[in-house]
Amino acid sequence: MEMENILVVDDEEAIREVVSTMLESKGYRCTAVQNGRVAQDQVKKATPDLVLSDMIMPEMDGIRLLEWMRQYDPEVPVIMVTAIHDISTALEAIRRGAYDYILKPFEKDQLFLGVGRALQHRRLIIENRNYQRNLEQLVEERTAQLTAKHVELEQSYDDTLEALGSALDLKDAETEGHCQRVTAFCISIARSVPVPDQYLPILARAAFLHDIGKMAIPDGILRKPGPLNDDEKQIMRKHCEIGYNMLIRIPFLRDAAEIVLAHQEFFDGSGYPRGLKGEQIPLGARIFTIADSLDAMISDRPYRRALPMSHAREEIKRCSASQFDPAVVDVFMTIPEQHWLDLREHLGSPFRLAHLKNL
């Protein structure tokens, strides 16, 4: 252990020498000065581990030195030395922040005991500070490790989702790339609404997997070139609930599952499967229906060519309050047409959910 430094402050040279000699015999390093003013200069040069100060001195007395030390470095303990008849002054010093006091004339044991206690107090303060600092550093390191693992885990989730999306594209080749485009459109609208940042990955996964229930729809219905009859429509409509039942069992997709279940609901209550109305429909689903309709209109279909962006925007505006949430439509209409064209053009291939962070 390093030798501890004690600053002895007393206007009597003989006392300074005696006290310093006694303390040095116990293995302490001592510096002795004659008053509080000189003590200040010494402290500024090298902060001591303990100040042992007389009360009554010229230029700056012990109480003023104590008050200055409390400001300069409150961790350094100060022991006041006072005459037996000045005990009330010593108690006043304790109230002002002195660690302890020693009465003159003092015995060696009294001096060593007081100094030992004060230095132990300082060691505990330093150890506690170092412990806190090390603990904060450890928490930062562990937090960084957990964050890295969380990012890695989320990426593995998204890799799985991308594989599912690719499988759906293979089954429903007519709408190839639709999931990717709708996901990107959803995030663009959501950022403008705006929604909380933590909601964006939930919405992205829901949009990407909105048609996952179609994996269970027979190919004869899914790929039928003409319009579906009533029975076939009823079967097709089950894809919302099928998708929900697939996703609700996966913990990190439970919130997304609610959006998947509601993605065919209409604002006026005429949608399916539950006929939800207005704000009964999750916000993510209300955003999704606009993104989905936009992509459907501006994409080629077997029965028609892609419609102009201007037509799609007018149609979405026309269906405000019936199919779509008017508040979300208003947000959508503030986004320039060119944004959607650029987004569609530069979506990226192969598509990665991670790309959505840069939209």
Report the catalytic residues.
214
Query: How many C-beta atoms surround the C-beta of residue 197 within 10 A?
Result: 10
Q: Do residues 210 and 243 make contact, with C-beta atoms less than 8 angstroms apart?
A: yes
Give CA–CA dist 58/254, Å, rounded.
Answer: 77
Give CA–CA dist 342/344, Å, rounded.
Answer: 5
HSE (side-chain half, CA atoms, 13 Å) at 3: 11
Residue type, 235: I
Strands 5-9 and 29-33 turn out to be parallel
Q: Residue 237 burial (CB < 10 Å; 0-12/13-18/19+)?
A: middle
Give CA–CA dist 274/269, Å, rounded.
Answer: 9
Q: Do residues 320 and 329 make contact, with C-beta atoms less than 8 angstroms apart?
A: yes
Residue type, 5: N
Give CA–CA dist 177/299, Å, rounded.
Answer: 10
Give CA–CA dist 284/12, Å, rounded.
Answer: 82
> What value does the CA radius of gyration of the chain take, rounded to a whole number of Å?
38
User: In angstroms, what CA-CA distances link 204 with 148, 253, 258?
Assistant: 21, 11, 13
Q: Would you state the structure tokens that stand for residue 251, as one six-digit string? A: 């913990």
Sign of CA dihedral 322, 323, 329, 335: negative
Q: What DSSP line would sit under 7-49, residue for residue?
A: EEE-S-HHHHHHHHHHHHHTT-EEEEESSHHHHHHHHHHS--S
